[in-house]
Structure 1
Amino acid sequence: MTDSANNKIARKLRIAHYLNWACYSGLMLLFAVRNLFLPGGSLKWWVVQTIPLLLVLPGLLRSHYRSYLWLCFILLLYITASIVDVMMPGRGWQHGLLLLLSLTLFFSAMMTSRWQRMQ
């Protein structure tokens, strides 16, 4: 690859890393607020929702491309559940935000993995 192509990939990768961490943090914060501070939440559901995301955290901190791939697989569960919840009448705004954060993190993690392998 040429230097120009490497610079473009490096720039895209840097943006994707910021987006990954923003969405990952947003999901963790959403789960904490929803389950620990709002009525109807529980500590049990907070643990169930956060443990899968925490499993890939060590690899994400080291920027391993396989961890981003595993994150994508895990996010498919969150995306599926949030689509079902968004379509149900009377659900709160949290489900729409969960869908938005999960989809954004899915696509940015997928592209991060791809761009890391290209470098």
Structure 2
Amino acid sequence: MTKIIPKLGQKLQVARRLTWGSYLLLMVVLLVNGVLSATPLSLLVVTLVPLLIFLPGLRRESYKTISMLCFVTLMYFMVTVTNLFAPNANLLDAAELVLLVVLFGAAMMFSRWKQYSLYQEDNP
């Protein structure tokens, strides 16, 4: 039995845009926050590479890759929440948190709806 989701194409488009927007903005905010806080280049690379690993799968719109991005996002969430409670917290830390929450939610729904859309294409 095929699960039919009303307006799946529209939902997929919104989730795609939110995922890409929050993903790219998160990369920019992480980079700017690292530069402004004088983070060493080696730590900046370690911060950005785990997110960059998902770029090819995100471009292919592989729902498995997008699902894994959600799990990696949770690690960034833990670090960002810890940073927010530090004495030297700044507005970029709050922006990171908002972007991480949006990225997690949008990527989770994007992954699920992409999977449904592929299944509906195979079984009309």
Tell me the residue number matched to 2:27.
Answer: 28
- Cα deviation, residue 34, structure 1: 1.8
Q: For structure 1, which runs of at least 5 residues remain unmatched after alignment?
A: none
Normalising by structure 2, report the TM-score: 0.85
Amino acid in structure 1 at the alignment position of 2:33 = R
What do the CA deviations read for 1:32-80 (whole angstroms, capped 9, x no partner)?
Answer: 21223x2422212210111000111100000000011110010000111
Deviates more, 1:91-100 or 1:27-36: 27-36
Compared CA separation, residues 9 and 88, structure 1 to 2 (3 A): same
* Among 54, 68, 74, the residue aligned to 1:76: 74
Tell me the residue number matched to 1:18.
Answer: 17
- Backbone CA RMSD of aligned residues: 1.8
Query: Would you identify which runs of 4 or more consecutive aligned residues in structure 1 move more than 4 Å?
Result: 1-4
CA distance in 1: counterparts of 2:116 and 2:40, whole angstroms: 42
CA distance in 2: counterparts of 1:74 and 1:27, whole angstroms: 13
Which is bigger in relative contact order (C-alpha 8 A, separation at least 6)?
2
Tell me the residue number matched to 1:67.
Answer: 65
Tell me the residue number matched to 1:114.
Answer: 112
Compared CA separation, residues 32 and 116, structure 1 to 2 (3 A): same
Give the structure with the higher percent helix.
1
What secondary structure does 1:101 align onto? helix
How many residues are paired up? Answer: 116
CA distance in 1: counterparts of 2:69 and 2:3, whole angstroms: 30
Percent of aligned pairs with the same residue? 34
Compared CA separation, residues 2 and 105, structure 1 to 2 (3 A): closer
Tell me the residue number matched to 2:49.
Answer: 51
Compared CA separation, residues 58 and 4, structure 1 to 2 (3 A): closer
Deviates more, 1:88-97 or 1:108-117: 88-97
Normalising by structure 1, report the TM-score: 0.89
Q: For structure 2, which runs of at least 5 residues remain unmatched after alignment?
A: 118-124
